[in-house]
Amino acid sequence: MINDLKMLIELRGARPKILVADDQPINIRAIHEIFKSECDIFMATSGEQALSLASSHRPDLIILDVMMPEMDGHEVCRRLKQDVVTKEIPVIFLTAQHTPEDEVLGFQLGAVDFIHKPIDSFVIQARVETHLALKLQTEYLRKIALTDGLTGIANRRQFDVTLVQDWLQCTREANPLSIVIVDVDHFKKFNDTYGHLLGDKCLRDVAHAIRAALRRPYDLATRYGGEEFACLLPNTDFDGAMHIAELIRQAVAALEIAHQQSETSPVVTVSLGVATCIPTSAYESAKLLAAADAQLYEAKQSGRNQARGKYLVE
């Protein structure tokens, strides 16, 4: 692979994912052979299957055959670009049609390139590598913009963006979504006692403990503001979210960061608010967030260093 792409993959720490959608298995096998050593390949033989895999696996690139039965590539691309979860995924059309009109239509639908049949291994490798590099570079720059400078975890903006995506996906799949809000107990007193340098170190250590407690790659830990953190847990029911909250509470206490002025404990602790619901189109994510915040208030009023939670029923 080209050097720039190799560097971007190293920075990312994960192999690129490519979705190949074609009703002809021979084409899928040919593309798989070209990229299997460098990328994770997902395969679909219909438009509906392609949409499902794109939503669940969120590939870095989609190679999409134009001519498929039932739902053609144009309609698949149109739906991909209408979905907030998949609209940013670059699509390369695989086509036997070479007319300018066909290419214009493809670009209007949101495709980034075309590969003509029969497949030439050198051409497809060059074009896929180019668009993967662009995708990963954009992802890297976006990650910098969505990362909290102090703690190194995601920032509030990333939380807001991901909440929209997770809400829509859980709505579509009728799966639960949980939010955990974490607040460092008596942090102002910590800063007043130990100074802002140690206060910053405390927040970094707490952030890393929170992130380490989230076991799945699609769970998100963010710095929500000041000494407050928030976690997004898609496909996580209420009991699972309360379990994660308790793991976070224990992980922070295990850091044993001295806090002489705390009214709760001789070490730094956190209070947590948890809320879970099954999102629907008639419900608003702001209600879930407000419920988690209200549960955090209950935890703090009840003595801190604990988690309180609520399961919301529409």
Q: Which two tokens stand for residue 54?
A: 């794109």
Amino acid identity for residue 53 in this structure: L
Distance CA(249)–CA(132), nearest Å, equals 39
Determine contact, residues 39/129, Cβ cutoff 8 Å.
Answer: no
The dihedral formed by the CA atoms of 75, 136, 16 and 33, expressed in degrees to the nearest 10: 70
Active site residue 101: no
Helix, strand, or coil (residue 285): helix
Determine contact, residues 273/297, Cβ cutoff 8 Å.
Answer: yes
* Catalytic one of 10, 139, 227, 256: 227
Distance CA(229)–CA(95), nearest Å, equals 47
Q: Which two tokens stand for residue 97?
A: 């049609």
Per DSSP, the residues of 193-231 read HH-HHHHHHHHHHHHHHHHHH--STT-EEEEEETTEEEE
Q: Is 131 left (phi over 0), alpha (psi -120 to 50) or beta?
A: alpha
DSSP class of 79? H
Per DSSP, the residues of 141-152 read HHHHHTB-TTTS
90 CA to centre of own chain: 17
CA distances, 24 to each of 29, 68, 128, 141, 273 (Å): 9, 9, 20, 36, 50
Catalogue the active-site residues. Answer: 227
